Amino acid sequence: MSALPTKPEKLAIHGGTPVREKLLPYGRQSLDEADVQAVVEVLKSDWLTTGPKIGEFEERFATWVGARHAVSFSSGTAALHGAAFAAGLGPGDEAITTPMTFCATANCVLYQGATPVFADVSPDTLNLDPGEVARKLSARTSSSTKAIIAVDYAGHPAALDELGELAKTHGALLIEDACHALGAEYLGKRVGGIADMTVFSFHPVKHLTTGEGGMVATNDARLAETLRRFRNHGISSEARQRQESGQWFYEMVLLGFNYRLTDIACALGLSQLDKLAANLARRREIAARYTEAFRDLPAILIPTVRDGVDPAWHLYAVRLKLEMLAVGRGEVFRALRAENIGVNVHYIPVHQHPYYRERLRSKESYPVAEDAYERLISLPMFHAMTAQDVEDVIRALGKVVTRFDRKYQGKYEEKGERSHLLESRQSK
Ligand SMILES: Cc1ncc(COP(=O)(O)O)c(C=O)c1O
């Protein structure tokens, strides 16, 4: 059954009644009593950090994603930094990555004193385009490119086979930023054991939360060892190992950080892991309902799912066919907010942030990412959304894009709306 309106209605932004009374956020965590109890137990135990919960969480997580090793970090950003370090990135080196991501993906290259080189994305998935990566690689001396850092945008795995092949041919490592993609499948395998290193985030809007937290999964024991040392000041043993063996001696063997995840957070992670499969299934259900409903909205481009892929749907990001609308993305965004739908935009392409604009000498443009940015709107997507929440989003998007359809331009304009429309055509 379609919840889409058949004729234009007065929008909340123009004084009409909003679709919802209260704002529906675009993402939020769900915690239950078992999560609370798991944390309380650790608070009463001997180890608040670097205790038994870390190993337990890492082992169960590794098994869940199908990797031999998993190394926890205090955030996804810290995990990316660890991966950049373990890949050997340093001054004079480069890593090829996507502009269509959260800035942390590229920042980890800068933390190591290396240079991020952007390559444009594919128009269907908005993931790193292997053809563009190949073009960047052939324009450079292979020895300076130490890593390709792909992002599984919105939870749809990147072209891992092609990118892995390119990395191998050029003596680089493939780092997969799967902060959106815990539980996503690529050619029948969960992401985590496919790339050289796969990075996850446990921020509250993600599939599993530890408050803040992150993980690097890898099949390579040497990379895992480096990652473990890096997150613990570069020290070769951990406090609990020393206590258990009655030793005080330790050595610092590389320059690391304190990027450890606490036992409190790991206990929460373990408890959240129990619900991960159900949460993923719910996100897939919501995505399927959105996709079914928006097929009937010609001004909306729905996300593509490539063959052989089962996305994890961290985001459900639609693109507006601006050619069909009388207003820009900014006005559609504001109208949806007025309907109390908590929309968001992912992402301002990284090279367009002032910090990058000022520092990267390249004036190169990335037309696919830049065009997508003008059109993108992320709709609410979290596993605790009710069926009514989902229908509210569908109805609100339908209401807004129907009202702003070019074909109704001038026909239904309310008092005071005209100046609003003129203004919004000029803003993004
Ligand atoms: C693609 C991507 N990479 C990295 C990060 C950083 O993760 P964290 O917030 O856990 O540091 C995020 C966080 O939202 C992200 O979306």
Q: What one-letter code names the amino acid at 162?
A: E
d(CA 34, CA 119): 44
Phi, psi for residue 219 in degrees, rounded to 5 = -95, 0
pLDDT tier, 111 (very low <50, low <70, confident <90, very high otherwise): very high
In ligand 1, the atom with minimum distance to the C-alpha of 203 is 10
d(CA 166, CA 143): 13
Residue 426 has pLDDT above 50, yes or no: no
**What is the full DSSP assignment across 217-271?**
EES-HHHHHHHHHHTBTTBSS-HHHHHHHT-----B-S---B-PPBHHHHHHHHH
d(CA 84, CA 9): 51
Residue 419 has pLDDT above 60, yes or no: no
In ligand 1, the atom with minimum distance to the C-alpha of 201 is 10
Beta strand 376-379 with 316-320: parallel, antiparallel or unpaired? antiparallel
The string of pLDDT tens digits covering residues 401-411 is 999 999 877 66
Over range 29-35, report the average pLDDT.
95
In ligand 1, the atom with minimum distance to the C-alpha of 206 is 14
Over range 67-90, report the average pLDDT.
98
Tokens of 74: 């205090």
> Prior bond to 355 cis, omega within 30?
no
**What is the full DSSP assignment across 51-107?**
SHHHHHHHHHHHHHHT-SEEEEESSHHHHHHHHHHHTT--TT-EEEE-SSS-THHHH
Nearest Cα to 75, choosing from 262, 350, 239, 253? 262
Ligand 1: which residues within 6 Å by Cβ? 75-77, 80, 101-102, 104-105, 151, 177, 179-180, 201, 203, 214
In ligand 1, the atom with minimum distance to the C-alpha of 153 is 1
d(CA 125, CA 401): 23
d(CA 400, CA 334): 10
Q: What per-residue confidence (pLDDT) applies to 287?
A: 98
In the chain, what is the straight-line distance between the N-terminal and C-terminal CA atoms, in Å? 33
Which residue, judged by its Cα, is nearest atom 7 of ligand 1?
Answer: 76
CB 349 within 8 A of CB 99: yes
Is residue 46 packed enough to be buried (19+ CB in 10 Å), middle (13-18) or exposed (0-12)?
A: exposed
pLDDT tier, 417 (very low <50, low <70, confident <90, very high otherwise): low
Give the mean pLDDT of the chain. 93
Tell me which of 206, 363, 407, 415 is the catalytic residue. Answer: 206
Q: What per-residue confidence (pLDDT) applies to 155?
A: 98
d(CA 360, CA 160): 27
CB 145 within 8 A of CB 96: yes
The string of pLDDT tens digits covering residues 362-380 is 778 999 999 999 999 999 9
d(CA 10, CA 196): 52
How far from the centroid of its chain's Cα atoms is residue 314's Cα? 7
48: which DSSP letter?
Answer: S
CB 313 within 8 A of CB 155: yes
Total count of residues recorded for the chain: 428
In ligand 1, the atom with minimum distance to the C-alpha of 152 is 1
Distance 395 CA to ligand 1 centre (A): 30
Q: How many CB atoms lie within 10 A of CB 386?
A: 9
CB 383 within 8 A of CB 282: yes
Q: How many CB atoms lie within 10 A of CB 240?
A: 17
d(CA 381, CA 27): 6
Distance 179 CA to ligand 1 centre (A): 6
Distance 87 CA to ligand 1 centre (A): 19
Distance 385 CA to ligand 1 centre (A): 22
Catalytic site includes residue 206 = yes
Is residue 419 packed enough to be buried (19+ CB in 10 Å), middle (13-18) or exposed (0-12)?
A: exposed
How far from the centroid of its chain's Cα atoms is residue 258's Cα? 24
Distance 199 CA to ligand 1 centre (A): 9
Q: What per-residue confidence (pLDDT) applies to 142?
A: 54
Q: What per-residue confidence (pLDDT) applies to 8?
A: 87
Distance 200 CA to ligand 1 centre (A): 8
> Is 0.85 topped by the overall pTM?
yes
119: which DSSP letter?
Answer: -
Distance 193 CA to ligand 1 centre (A): 19
50: which DSSP letter?
Answer: S
Q: What per-residue confidence (pLDDT) applies to 414?
A: 57
Which residue, judged by its Cα, is nearest atom 10 of ligand 1?
Answer: 76
Nearby residues of 197 by Cβ (< 8 Å), 6 or more positions away? 83, 86, 87, 173, 174, 175, 176, 216, 217, 218, 220, 223, 227
The string of pLDDT tens digits covering residues 313-343 is 999 999 999 999 999 999 999 999 999 999 9
Lowest pLDDT segment from 19-33, 54-68, 334-348, 408-422: 408-422
Distance 103 CA to ligand 1 centre (A): 8
Owner of token pair 């992670």: 269
Residue 167 has pLDDT above 60, yes or no: yes
In ligand 1, the atom with minimum distance to the C-alpha of 78 is 11
Residue 424 has pLDDT above 60, yes or no: no
Tokens of 63: 């098994």
How large a percentage of the chain has pLDDT more than 90? Answer: 86
Tokens of 284: 């897939």
